[in-house]
Amino acid sequence: MLERLVAFPTVSKSSNRDLIDFVQDYLQGHGVPVTVLPNGKGDKAALLATLGPVGPGGVVLSGHSDVVPVEGQDWSSDPWRLRARDGRLFGRGACDMKGFCAAALAMVPQFQAAGLKRPIHIAISYDEEIGCFGVQPLIDYLTKTLPHPEAVIVGEPSEMTVLNAHKGTWSLVTRVTGYEVHSSICHTGVSAVMAAARLVTWLEDRMLENAKNALPVGPASGFAPPYTTLHVGRIKGGSSGNITAGYCSFPVDIRVMPGEDMDQWLQLYLDHVSQMQAKLRKVRPEASISVAINARVAGLTAEVDGPAEALVKQLTGDHISRQAGFGSEAGLFQEAGFSTTICGPGSMEQAHQPDEFISLDQLDHCTAFMRGLSERLSA
């Protein structure tokens, strides 16, 4: 199954419909009802399948179909052809996260034979890697159509351990419009580059304040770093060294600690942008600053006595709660009211790398986990 899934080059910029069509045919061939949820263009789709009776108390096994690009990476073999070596399976997406999807799909005959009394839902999304956009139709469908499940398990690579929290993320683009004049009379113009630089340093100042106030012990100590970060990794603007810049843009990455208000962090930045824009317009009314939201990925917060985490701990025997350094779709499920945790095969250290791989041992652990889940839901 993993070999089939890896063979579909479902990079986020491309369609995933061939993979979804294959999965739909496979599931329907086993008599499993399937709902396909296409995007507006129809070139991508999410999928939800339900095994067992349609009722409350089921479990959602959730994964994403898209993978990151391979261009510019030094692969030793075709990334779209699964190959085995030394107990490892190599291929793009083998770890992140087609391994989890393959395990769930390969278990379908055993799920059906188990005599499930509560359902197992298999959910496959798209565009996770570029902002978790494709999972929202699945969440909406689950919320409006199906009885409330007991737990959602997002199968991101965790080496089959429990990850119960991660930061939320704002992905923004700030665009500054200045007014061009010769630099000898720069006081009559507005430099978009210099205004952008002040915004960037303001963001860094907030992050330095967060670092100074971070507590060395407590719920945040499992995160590295244990505070909200505000980062700018690229900046572009201006046309010449002797002209005040008419344009400048830069991306903003804000990663918010669980328990903090994501919207409050965004508003704090927008308020500062508004204040700076007012100052620029006192020099030239044509000046402006805009902030576009590329993506909002909700954080995952540890649940006190959460059924999802308790279930995964029982099935894996792993009773240690850990925090994820990456974002995922899990926070969006939780935000919608579903008890959610992360547990999946493979290590994130192999994700997005050339010669990405998952070990056969990890797939075996995942299969045993799903077998235990089917036994629990059949009791």
CA–centroid distance for 339 within its chain:
17
Q: Are the folds of 2-165+300-378 and 168-297 the same?
A: no
> Which architecture characterizes domain 2-165+300-378 according to CATH?
3-Layer(aba) Sandwich (3.40)
Q: What are phi and psi of 152, to 5 degrees?
A: -120, 125
Give the pLDDT confidence score for residue 219 in this predicted structure: 63
CATH of domain 168-297: 3.30.70.360
Conformation bin of residue 86: beta by default, left when phi > 0, alpha when psi is -120 to 50:
left
pLDDT mean by block of 10 residues, the chain; 379 residues:
98 97 98 97 97 95 98 97 97 98 98 97 97 96 95 98 96 98 96 98 98 77 90 97 97 95 97 98 98 96 93 94 93 97 96 97 97 97
The structural domains of the chain, with segments of one domain joined by +, span: 2-165+300-378, 168-297
Give the pLDDT score at 337.
97
Residue 87: phi and psi, rounded to 5, are: 75, 15
Cβ atoms < 10 Å from Cβ of 91 = 27
List, in sequence order, the alpha helices (H) in the chain.
2-6, 17-29, 98-106, 108-113, 136-145, 192-213, 262-283, 307-316, 330-335, 360-378
- pLDDT of 220 reads 63
Q: What is the DSSP letter of 52?
A: S
